[in-house]
Structure formats: structure tokens, C-alpha cells
Amino acid sequence: MASIFCNVNQPDFVQLDCGTELGGIVAIALIKGDQNPTLANLREASFWTTKLNASPQKYWVIVDTRGSYPGGTPVEEDGFGRVPIQRTGADHEATVEVRGVENNHNFMAAVNQSSNWKVVLVTADNMGLYIEDASVYAKIVVEQSIKSSTRWSLSIKWSDDMSNPQTFEVPAAIFGE
């Protein structure tokens, strides 16, 4: 039976023999949509240092975040023949919270007014999840409790062909370790 995506080469699954890959989104990078970094670029601290110091700046790293990415939700339609459902893609959303409301109003307004971002989500294990063509919306969160922190909440949304974000090891020195 043919795949609707015509992917006939199924690679072997690689079992994690020991340890764990820690979760949580502890840092993010926002990259202007007109940039085209490779995974090899994103692995290199010197690449990030150059881009973060460039003018005009098109790469930003935000450390000391908290957040989650629960995985994608399949986009489905009626199937054909005896197959009741056909999956045609996936919609994804990650939510990330960051402190620093007062001093970042203009930055977050510019994020909201840009329609195309590339994003790197960084886990506690320095695993980067690279997302192309994302929409980012930042809003201020003020909870009722006077003991809670005021913060930015970023909603990062994207759609894909069910391939999921590309993963790689980020340079720890850049992302706050």
C-alpha cells in the first residue's frame, strides 16, 4: 500500500539504551523568517554568537523560560475505499512563558506583528527542536494571586506534513547552561 506522502523508505528505530532525554522548554530562539540556517549552523556556538551580535539583529535567544510542547494533532479527512480516515498533516502548538514584562513590550509587539518565524525550542537536556514557518503570539499574563509572577506567554503554532520538528543538540553556552 502506498503512503499518501510517497515515503517508501522507513528507517530503523534507534532504541535509547540508557538514561533519559529531559523535557521542559528552558530556552527558545526566535529567528526572522527570511533567514535560512542549517542544522549544522544551529549546532555551532560561533554561528549563534555572530548572529546575536549582528546589526540588524535577526536572531534572538531567550533563556530562563518554562513551557511545554504536547505534540501535534493530526489533520484528518474522510478516507478512501475501506480506510475510514486519512491523515493529511498535523497542527502543533508550544506554549512558553518568560519573565520581563515591563521592559519587553516593544520587543513582543514586534514579534506579534511579524507573520513568519523560525523557532528553536530548547529542552533541559539541550535538545533543540527546530521549527520553520511558525506563527508566534505573545500576551501578558496577570493572575489573580498577588503571589504570582506577571509574565509573557508565547503561543507558537505551526503545521507540517506529520514530520515533527527536527531535533539537534544546541550549544549549551548559548542557551544558558
What are 27-78's pLDDT values in tens digits?
Answer: 999 999 999 999 999 999 999 999 999 999 999 999 999 999 999 999 988 9
Is 17 inside any structural domain? no
Task: Characterise 126 by phi-psi region: left (phi > 0), alpha (psi -120 to 50), beta (else).
Answer: left
What is the mean pLDDT of the segment spanning 104-133? 96
Q: How far apart are CA 106 and CA 84, in angstroms?
A: 49
pLDDT for res 104: 96
CB 42 within 8 A of CB 130: yes
Is 155 inside any structural domain? yes
pLDDT for res 17: 79
pLDDT for res 14: 78
Is 107 inside any structural domain? yes
Is 106 inside any structural domain? yes
Q: What is the domain range of residue 75?
A: 25-169
Q: What's the whole-model pTM score?
A: 0.88
Is 10 inside any structural domain? no
Number of domains in the chain: 1
Helix (H, G, I), strand (E, B) or coil at 46: helix
What is the mean pLDDT of the segment spanning 112-117? 93
pLDDT for res 5: 58
Is 7 inside any structural domain? no
Is 11 inside any structural domain? no
